[in-house]
Amino acid sequence: KQEVTQIPAALSVPEGENLVLNCSFTDSAIYNLQWFRQDPGKGLTSLLLIQSSQREQTSGRLNASLDKSSGRSTLYIAASQPGDSATYLCAVRGGNTGFQKLVFGTGTRLLVSP
């Protein structure tokens, strides 16, 4: 059964810091991995999608990497801002659970202080 773990569960940093969020998964036979942002009481917003054949994706201050063989992904946030405060979720599609569903981690709750 695919399991997704995110470390740390919570992170508090001052504004301007560069930070890394970690995601690991147990079954490396995935189609893709997606990072989401969730603000309190809101839905999920897709940040980056990495296909299994890719090593990284970038969008603005965000960079996500994927090492499928080791079952790891990282989300790098450069020059963090208070507006980055949210919960970040990673999710994988594929592996022994098939393509039908995304398997989610429980998220990293990020607080960026001014």
Per CB under 8 A, 111 contacts other proteins: no
Per CB under 8 A, 107 contacts other proteins: yes
Tell me the per-residue interface mask from 25 to 64 with other proteins, x by CB under 8 A, - otherwise.
------xx-x-x-----xxxxx--x-x-------------
CA separation for the pair 29, 43 (Å, rounded):
28
Closest approach of other proteins to the CB of residue 104, in Å: 4
Q: How many CA atoms lie within 13 A of 7 on its CB side?
A: 4
What residue type is 53 in one-letter code? S
Sheet holding 19-25, edge to edge: 4-7, 19-25, 72-77, 62-67, 56-59
Output 12 or 46, the one with its CB closest to other proteins.
46
Per CB under 8 A, 101 contacts other proteins: yes
